[in-house]
Amino acid sequence: MKRKEREICRSEDIIDVLKKCNTLSIGFQGDDYPYVVPVSFGIVCKGDKLYIYFHGAKSGYKVEQINKNPVVCVEGHVFHKVEPTKYGITTRYESIIGFGTVEKAEGDEIAAGLKSITEHYNYPEYPIGRCKGLPMTAVYRINIEKMTGKRNLPE
């Protein structure tokens, strides 16, 4: 990283940024080109392990890519504002990039993964079983292996 003073190294700070993100983009290997898709997501920390949950259809291009190569890159960011500085203008932001592997959630982990998503979006009491689309929905877990962040906030 060129601007070391902007690097976010502590896992607590990286998770703090991740919690502020509205959407997470997941990058897959793709067939001919990289494939990036935005998702709603949830976060679960167990000890020093970070897991990100997302949901989607049980079939489709995203599922095909997961089955071909479960290695992914994730990106999330919080755009704060653009403001003038003494040198010009700058963007105030926080961002994370992570790397890991995707696995389909099974059994009780499905409800736990969906619960992490509803909690992330401030609906912790939402009754998961009430969702009419649940039978057509798959839940996936990204096992984060490495994550870093960067920020440019006002001093």
Instruction: Supply the CATH number for residue 136's domain.
Output: 2.30.110.10
- Could you tell me the end-to-end alpha-carbon distance of the chain, in angstroms, rounded to an integer? 20
Q: Is 14 exposed, middle or buried (0-12, 13-18, 19+ CB in 10 A)?
A: buried
pLDDT at 1: 67
* Nearest CA-CA partner of 27 in 39, 11, 18, 45: 39
Residue 137 lies in a domain: yes
Number of domains in the chain: 1
Whether the Cβ atoms of residue 139 and residue 118 lie closer than 8 Å to each other:
no
pLDDT at 7: 81
Residue 105 lies in a domain: yes
* Nearest CA-CA partner of 20 in 154, 114, 149: 149
Range of the domain at 31: 4-150
Residue 155 lies in a domain: no
Q: Cα(53)–Cα(109) distance, rounded to whole angstroms? A: 10
Task: For the chain, 155 residues long, give each residue's pLDDT as a single digit of tens.
Answer: 677 777 898 999 999 999 999 999 999 998 899 999 999 999 999 988 999 999 999 999 999 999 999 999 999 999 999 999 888 999 999 999 999 999 999 999 999 999 999 999 999 898 887 888 788 899 999 999 999 999 999 87
pTM, to two decimals? 0.92
- Specify the residue for token string 């401030």: 122
